[in-house]
Amino acid sequence: MDTGRIVALDVHTHVESDGQGHFSLDDELLDASAKYFRVDQDRTPSLARIAQYYRERDMAAVVFTVDASTSLGHPALSSEQIAAEAAEHADVLIPFGSVDPLRGAEAVAQARRLAEVHGVRGFKFHPSLQGFAPNDAAFYPLYAALEELETIALFHTGQTGIGAGLPGGRGIKLRYSDPMLLDDVAADFPGLDIIMAHPAVPWVDAAISVATHKANAYIDLSGWSPKYFPPQLVRQAGSLLRHKVLFGSDYPVLTPDRWLRDFAALDLSDEVRTLILKENALRLLKLDRKIGAGAGAPPAVS
């Protein structure tokens, strides 16, 4: 699809099922997040269904899973398989990979394969779910590889619905998702573009500060209906950070339909809306005017 024709590019879409009965989380965590988000649609759509959903809306989407196999003791979905299936829907889907940082050198090697062989454009991390402090120097070899590969690092920040309401939150620690930890990473790897996912509540001001100070730090607006956005985030998205803020939904727990409906009510100019909905993402992802040069091809880059 010509990117000039799409109405939006969603940079935050989860693949929760491989379509063969395997899921990214165990039943307890899937049920807890569905309850937290009050999900009333399919919680685990297949990648083909995700592609159909976005194609029907003249939208494109970045798709990924989260590899938290060490911390959760639950096998991850295959990022290699997600990349291969996304290539079959290259008109609307852009694959990101995920590696488990706790696997050290193995994670670095996998990240290289995913970028060089499978064509992923970035990597998704969830520090709370994966159980790691992102500014720990033990993970710097991984970031160095991502910087060298010219891929994007997308980090969950703030509150998470995964484990919400369970005893001890199932051991998931929110403090690992403080965006100030990413300030260290952004400073030490200036060539690595970093997306801080979600409004980062209760640390929204920290995320705004990092994105304002670091040229390589961005914010996606996924995981919250825009009507609940902190007012200072809306204000900065419409002014100082208008080129640093990206549309993300958090599908399937929050649909683009609902997100866009509530986004329309925000006090933002048409110019800013266009930047947030797709132009900022197109520039960050270095996409040319077409997504997918053909079946099996990764997205074209300029």
CATH match of 8-285 with 2.60.40.10: no
Please give the model's pTM, rounded to 2 decimal places. 0.93
Determine what percent of the chain is predicted with pLDDT higher than 90.
Answer: 84
107 has a pLDDT exceeding 90: yes
Structure tokens at 22: 């395997």
The whole-number pLDDT of residue 31 equals 86
Say if residues 67 and 90 touch (Cβ distance below 8 Å): no
- 20 pLDDT band (50/70/90 cuts)? confident
What value does the mean pLDDT take over residues 89-106? 98
- 127 pLDDT band (50/70/90 cuts)? very high
Burial of 235 (0-12, 13-18, 19+ CB in 10 A): middle
**Residue ranges covered by each domain of the chain:** 8-285
The whole-number pLDDT of residue 84 equals 97
- Angstrom distance (rounded) from CA 120 to CA 81: 11
The whole-number pLDDT of residue 25 equals 84
Long-range CB contacts for residues 283-287, cutoff 8 Å, separation at least 24: 284/152, 284/193, 284/195, 284/218, 284/246, 285/9, 285/62, 285/94, 285/121, 285/122, 285/152, 287/3, 287/94
302 has a pLDDT exceeding 60: no
**Between 197 and 41, residue with greater pLDDT:** 197
2 has a pLDDT exceeding 80: no
- 288 pLDDT band (50/70/90 cuts)? low
Q: Please, where are the H alpha helices in 140-264?
A: 140-148, 180-188, 204-213, 231-237, 256-263
**Between 26 and 251, residue with greater pLDDT:** 251
What value does the mean pLDDT take over residues 226-252? 97
Interval 24-82: pLDDT, tens: 888 899 888 888 888 776 778 999 999 999 999 999 999 999 999 999 999 999 999 99
Q: Please, where are the H alpha helices in 170-216?
A: 180-188, 204-213
